């Protein structure tokens, strides 16, 4: 089922999310929500979606990218992952600029600086704990979606004047 996207101005986008307690949730409910989130990003042609963007105040986000170069820089691979209760352990590396947008702020794009590497601790959809290092575009997408679980939007990284101008345009 395709879920409705919450847009800029909705207060849930500015709230810090709560951890998912696996003992309080039925696995089938988590799986259904995750499947619905993937169906939603396919429909809207997104590459990531965080729970607050569908009105849920929980630490959950998903990523599914189109074809990206793998570590060998020879093969293109699709990347798909579920992040539950994610924590950024370390953000490091070279800072680089990239044009970002957001499903909750349609039509607005801006160049944002982020570090190139992260180490993330999280659970997958089965509740298994993982710790992984991500680089490049995967790192950037994860940082963007993680920010949603912290009540932060990509426009918060912009200089004050540009942020103010964008807020006027959005309203």
CB distance 20 to 85 below 8 Å: yes
The pLDDT tens digits of the residues spanning 59-118 come to 999 999 875 545 555 556 678 999 999 999 999 999 999 999 999 999 999 999 999 999
Q: Classify burial at 79, counting beta carbons within 10 Å of its beta carbon; exposed 0-12, middle 13-18, buried 19 or more.
A: middle
Q: Would you give the DSSP letter of residue 3?
A: P
* Per-residue confidence (pLDDT) for residue 37, from 0 to 100: 97
145 is catalytic: yes
The pLDDT tens digits of the residues spanning 42-52 come to 999 999 999 99
* Per-residue confidence (pLDDT) for residue 72, from 0 to 100: 54
Best CA proximity match to 35, nearest among 3, 5, 67: 3
Any idea what the Cα angle at residue 127 is, between residues 125 and 133, rounded to 5°?
80
The pLDDT tens digits of the residues spanning 104-133 come to 999 999 999 999 999 999 999 999 999 999
Give the integer Cα–Cα distance in Å for 129 and 82. 12
pTM of the model: 0.91
User: Structure tokens of 165?
Assistant: 């101008």
| Residue carrying structure tokens 């409910």 | 29
The pLDDT tens digits of the residues spanning 130-165 come to 999 999 889 999 999 999 999 999 999 999 888 888
Give the integer Cα–Cα distance in Å for 57 and 74. 39
Radius of gyration (Cα) for the chain, nearest Å?
Answer: 16
Q: Distance from CA of residue 49 to its chain's centroid?
A: 5
Domains of the chain: 11-170 (3.90.45.10)
Q: Which residue among 64, 81, 100, 145 is the active-site one?
A: 145
* Per-residue confidence (pLDDT) for residue 76, from 0 to 100: 61
């Amino acid at each position: 089922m395709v879920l409705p996207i919450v847009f800029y101005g909705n207060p849930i986008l500015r709230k810090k999310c709560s951890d998912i307690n696996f003992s309080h949730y039925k696995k089938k409910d988590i799986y259904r929500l995750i499947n619905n989130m993937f169906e939603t990003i396919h429909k809207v042609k997104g590459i990531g979606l965080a729970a607050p963007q569908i009105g849920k105040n929980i630490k959950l986000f998903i990523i599914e990218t189109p074809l990206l170069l793998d570590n060998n820089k020879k093969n293109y691979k699709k990347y798909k992952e579920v992040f539950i209760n994610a924590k950024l352990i370390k953000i490091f590396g070279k800072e680089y600029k990239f044009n970002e947008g957001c499903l909750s702020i349609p039509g607005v794009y801006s160049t944002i600086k982020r570090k190139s590497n992260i180490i993330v601790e999280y659970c997958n959809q089965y509740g298994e704990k993982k710790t992984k290092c991500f680089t490049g575009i995967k790192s950037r997408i994860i940082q963007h979606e993680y920010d949603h679980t912290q009540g932060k939007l990509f426009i918060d990284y912009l200089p004050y004047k540009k942020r103010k101008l964008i807020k006027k345009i959005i309203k």
